[in-house]
Amino acid sequence: MTKKLDVKDAKKGYFNEKANFERGLLDCLKIKVDMALPHQKFREIIFQLLYSRHLGHADEQVMLELMMAELEVSKKNVKAAQDKVQRIIEHLDRIDPIIASVSTSYSFERIQTVPKNILRLGVFELFFDKQEVPIPPKVVIAEAIRLSRKFNTPESASFVNALLDHLYQASLGHATLSTEIEEQAAALLKSEAEASEKIKENILLNKQQEETEDGTNAS
């Protein structure tokens, strides 16, 4: 005699299987998203961590939590970025002299924090980053330009491009001229001077407005 199917049991089994399937699907999607973090976003995490280290904000746990919250990335990805930043820091005694050797008209000490750390990342990836699959030099330079445009100015992007391209071409044994670097350094200096003047003008204007408001309130 065939046992009669219990409808309640059948429904319960169906919903349990459905819930297990959905949980499994979500886990798979989560893993896929974690693995598929775009290289551009990963490089931005590296840059921001490197920049933070330069400013003295080196508490790794604080930065880990901050990056995870602000950029909505996994702990695994931030840890990987922190590992790369540490390797860059360990190579600074070799990276910084390379940058300084070609940035003669715009001394290394004068290079602002943002472009300086983008250059550090670029030089590391061009010459010191030992990976099974090396990052193509053109990609390294293009990404350095993109970071400069996003986090700084078009002038700094041109300067970074000229400097990294000069170093890469020289590493291939190609004849290179420092003229392009000098021109871009001059343009960068000019833009920085203009930005500084603009800041001073805004400060003066704000001060004048405050004095006017104080005079009006006093009367």
pLDDT at 131: 83
Q: Answer yes or no: do 157 and 100 share one domain.
A: yes
Contact partners, residue 191, CB within 8 Å, separation at least 6: 153, 155
Q: Answer yes or no: do 123 and 140 share one domain.
A: yes
pLDDT at 143: 97
Q: Has residue 15 been placed in a domain? A: no
Q: Answer yes or no: do 109 and 157 share one domain.
A: yes
pLDDT at 31: 39
Q: Has residue 190 been placed in a domain? A: no
pLDDT at 90: 96
Q: Has residue 52 been placed in a domain? A: yes
Q: Answer yes or no: do 100 and 168 share one domain.
A: yes
Consecutive 10-residue averages of pLDDT for the chain (219 residues): 53 57 50 64 93 80 81 87 94 97 89 96 95 90 97 94 95 84 86 80 75 69
Q: Answer yes or no: do 67 and 99 share one domain.
A: no
Count of domains forming the chain: 2
Domain residue limits at 155: 92-175
**Dihedral sign of CA atoms 172, 90, 96, 53 in order:** positive
Assign residue 162 the CATH number of its domain.
Answer: 1.10.940.10
Q: Answer yes or no: do 115 and 161 share one domain.
A: yes
Is there a contact between 148 and 156 (Cβ–Cβ < 8 Å)? yes
Q: Answer yes or no: do 145 and 97 share one domain.
A: yes
Q: Has residue 192 been placed in a domain? A: no
Q: Has residue 188 been placed in a domain? A: no
Q: Has residue 137 been placed in a domain? A: yes
Q: Has residue 145 been placed in a domain? A: yes
Say how far apart CA 50 and CA 73 lie, in whole Å: 17
pLDDT at 57: 66
Q: Which residues of 66-92 are buried (b: 16+ CB within 10 A; e: fewer)?
A: bbeeebebbeebbebbbebbeebbebe
Q: Model's pTM, two decimal places?
A: 0.73
pLDDT one-digit tens code per residue, 162-217? 999 999 999 999 877 778 888 888 888 888 888 878 787 778 777 777 777 766 76
In three-state form (DSSP H/G/I as H, E/B as E, the rest C), the secondary structure along the chain is: CCCCCCHHHHHHHHHHHHHHHHHHHHHHHHHHHHHCCCHHHHHHHHHHHHHHHHCCCCCHHHHHHHHHHHHCCCHHHHHHHHHHHHHHHHCHHHHHHHHHHHCCCCCHHHCCHHHHHHHHHHHHHHHCCCCCCCCCHHHHHHHHHHHHHHHCCHHHHHHHHHHHHHHHHHHCCCCCCCHHHHHHHHHHHHHHHHHHHHHHHHHHHHHHHHHHHHHHHHC
Choose the final residue of a domain: 90, 117, 136.
90
Q: Has residue 22 been placed in a domain? A: no
Q: Answer yes or no: do 99 and 167 share one domain.
A: yes
* Position 116, amino acid: K
